[in-house]
Structure 1
Amino acid sequence: MVMWIVIAVVVLALIILVAAVLSVLGRLPALERAGRKLDRRQQEALKLQRRAAVLERSAAGVQERAEIMQERLAMIRPGHPLNGKHSL
């Protein structure tokens, strides 16, 4: 009698284990798709990061050129001591 109870418990445990394994195996394709999607997003993020770095360097160059132009304009303005005119 005890032997049948032990066998029933073992069989029930095996059935629960198989159900759990099948549930996990059923979710693997969705997990694989999610993993591929994450990989694509990571690649896109790296591309955007590289583009942002290029844009940042370009903006720094424009800022530097603007500062140079402001300095040149200041030297050209009337009344500047270097251009020989007086501010009066």
Structure 2
Amino acid sequence: MKSTGIVRKLDELGRITLPIELRRSFDVNERDPLEIFVDDDKIILKKYNPTDIFTGEMDDLVEYKGKKVSKNSIKELARIAGLKISE
């Protein structure tokens, strides 16, 4: 892991501000969702890119009960279930 040399303090609500240089480097804009991961003693932020829960595809997604599913996966599931769906 590479250190940036940047240190930030949490505010009274537990927030930090990401420096503009980092936001530009990683194409993170205002209101972009970020995923939060924990690895031992590290907190890791990653730009959130929704993917198909089955294949990891990022294209042609629909949401069902809070989960992202690609149209290709829907077609494959219908085929496995023996259902006919129109294109």
Structure 1 length as normaliser, TM-score? 0.24
Name the one with the larger helix percent: 1
Structure 2 length as normaliser, TM-score? 0.24
Highest CA radius of gyration, 1 or 2? 1
Q: Which has the higher contact order (CA 8 A, sep 6+)?
A: 2
Name the one with the larger strand percent: 2
